[in-house]
Structure 1
Amino acid sequence: MAAGSLLALIDDIASVLDDVALMSKVAAKKTAGVLGDDLALNAQQVTGVNADRELPVVWSVALGSLRNKAILVPAALAISAFLPQAITPLLMLGGAYLCFEGFEKLAHKYMHSASEDAAHEEELVTALAAGADMRTVEQDKIKGAVRTDFILSAEIIVIALGVVNEGGASFGAQVAALVAVAIAMTVGVYGLVAAIVKMDDVGLWLSKKSGALARGLGNLLLAAAPRLMKALSVIGTVAMFMVGGGIIGHAVEPLHHLAESAAHAVSGVPAVGGLLAAVTPTVIDAVAGVVVGAVVLLVVTLVQRLRGKH
């Protein structure tokens, strides 16, 4: 689950950086690479204001993550003490949101025409041309990643709380354990995210060295960075279904039993039975996540149409 949460966060942050890249290019009136499709393979195009905004964006989301956990730790302790039956429904709502977000990403190219994507870009261009503060627009984009982090952080905190409760720890020990987990997860996750998004800059720095080995490694990193981010974006979307579907699957008994039965059924397959038994529940969770995401997106879309929104 932790790995899936990390990938989902990377996918969301990459989406934010795509918009930041567009705004930076408009503001600077030149092309510079950052992530995904905007990551330039040409070393001369990697430098620029876009790359300068990578770490501030990651830092902003990390601070949002710390604020999330500052809310979630006491909230989880309070709910666990006074209303424990509410934990599962709240987690299911969060899981449904992750599935919705993942399916919306998956369906984007079918639900939004090229003209709508162009209109989105034009909206940013118009806002900047009208004198809008790019940092303000950027913060609006960051809020989406912080919302995703809130759900994933809630899952992590609840799992950690379950572990310390099983051990019969005192209230003080529970608080200390949850705070330690919250800080460690934030530093570890966003430290790794920062390292990934700056891989292209490390490649550029190495490519300018005099040694052939350093230049070769730098060029390799420059070539690998956009492919890695594209792969992580795809895997991150799948991770949203896995994490969201997993939360719902553990809470819905028939679905949970289906996953267990399927894993037991394939465990007897010669040679690969163990692997299939380990993978099958995750696949079922992901499929369930796709279905839930489709249903939620359909409901949201219908409500928006009825209200006259697009």
Structure 2
Amino acid sequence: MTSGIIAILDDIAVLMDDVVILSKAATKKTIGILADDLAINADKASGFMSSRELPVLWKLTKGSFVNKVIILPAIFLLSAYLPIVIIPILICGGVYLSFEGALNAYKLFFNKKNKTNKTNDIKQNEIEDPAILESKKIKSAILIDFILSIEIIIITLGTVLDQSISIQIIVVSIIALLSTIGVYGFVALLVRMDDAGYNLISASENRLLKKTGFFMVRALPVIIRTLKIVGTLAMILVGGGIFVHNIDLVHELVHGWPIYPADFVIGLTFGSVFLLVYLLLKKLFTS
């Protein structure tokens, strides 16, 4: 009896050890999408009245959990009964990530209309009903979260495809749960950072605390911009990595290259091609 219990506990310990190791590996693979998800949601959750920031963020968090509840069973069923489609879905994710990364880079460096568009968006937001604007931003953010959640789950699953279905379910579920809690928890801290700074400025007579408050207020937009840049680079890297590791021809092309340069070059190359096609089609259908 005792030996049986010990054997069960030993099996559980081995299982949890595998889960921890695989979860760490999966986290490294999904860090790019998480950074992008963080930047997007920080942007979507900001710009509201202070009293609405946390309620909006709570709606986004609930929407993200609903997304996971929808996606996880579907992916597990596919993995169990139709595993052949997982790699193609993963490659589709690579297409999306590399394209989005290239598009973000294009907007950052080459799109001169970007600032004008942002100014127009701000003017439009000023005349639009706040409740309607809030609803639109929430729906947009939840849709983006749905797409990114699929990629997070698929990429995580890709790291454990050679494991048993039980380990797949545990690892993927942990990463999915942590991605929502981690991203939205950090966003909550970010969007309240400027308020905390203003409180320090107005309520404190201490010069150090006032300087800290000013720093917090000024740092928030810098942090969000930095997250966007990091997210863009990470999307290109992760997208390229998907192509390198799942398409034999691409893998052969960069055989012997250092991992990160190979992933970046492939991601940027594929992303640039997809971006060029997108811009040509956009010009064709809007002209």
Say if 2:187 is the partner of 1:209.
Answer: no
Say if 2:30 is the partner of 1:2.
Answer: yes
Choose 205-214 or 78-87, whichever is displaced more: 205-214
What are the within-5 Å matches in structure 2 for residues 53-202 of structure 1?
Answer: 53-108=52-107, 110-111=110-111, 113=113, 115-126=116-127, 128=128, 133-161=129-157, 166-168=162-164, 170=166, 175=169, 178-202=172-196
Higher relative contact order (CA 8 A, sep 6+): 2
Distance 1:175 1:90 in 2: 18
Alignment partner, residue 41 of structure 1: none
> Matched residue pairs, number?
256
RMSD of Structure 2 on Structure 1 (CA) = 3.0
Contact 1:245 1:285 in 2 (8 A): yes
CA deviation string 1:192-243 (max 9, x = no partner): 2221232222222233224444334323323333322222222122222122
Alignment partner, residue 284 of structure 1: 262
Identity rate, percent: 36
Distance 2:214 2:111 in 1: 37
Instruction: Indicate how the Cα distance of structure 1 residues 202 and 296 shifts in structure 2: closer, same or farther if over 3 A, else same.
Output: same
Q: Which protein is richer in helix relative to its size?
A: 2
Distance 1:308 1:111 in 2: 17
Report the TM-score when normalising by structure 1: 0.70
User: Which of 227, 249, 260 lines up with 1:254 in the alignment?
Assistant: 249
Instruction: Indicate how the Cα distance of structure 1 residues 136 and 154 shifts in structure 2: closer, same or farther if over 3 A, else same.
Output: same
Structure 1 residues not aligned, in runs of 5+: 25-48, 264-280
Contact 2:39 2:231 in 1 (8 A): yes
Instruction: Indicate how the Cα distance of structure 1 residues 237 and 163 shifts in structure 2: closer, same or farther if over 3 A, else same.
Output: closer
Distance 2:159 2:149 in 1: 15
CA deviation string 1:102-140 (max 9, x = no partner): 3222223634525544444444445x2xxxx42333333
Choose 85-94 or 284-293, whichever is displaced more: 284-293
Alignment partner, residue 10 of structure 2: none
Contact 1:14 1:233 in 2 (8 A): no
Alignment partner, residue 306 of structure 1: 284
Report the TM-score when normalising by structure 2: 0.74
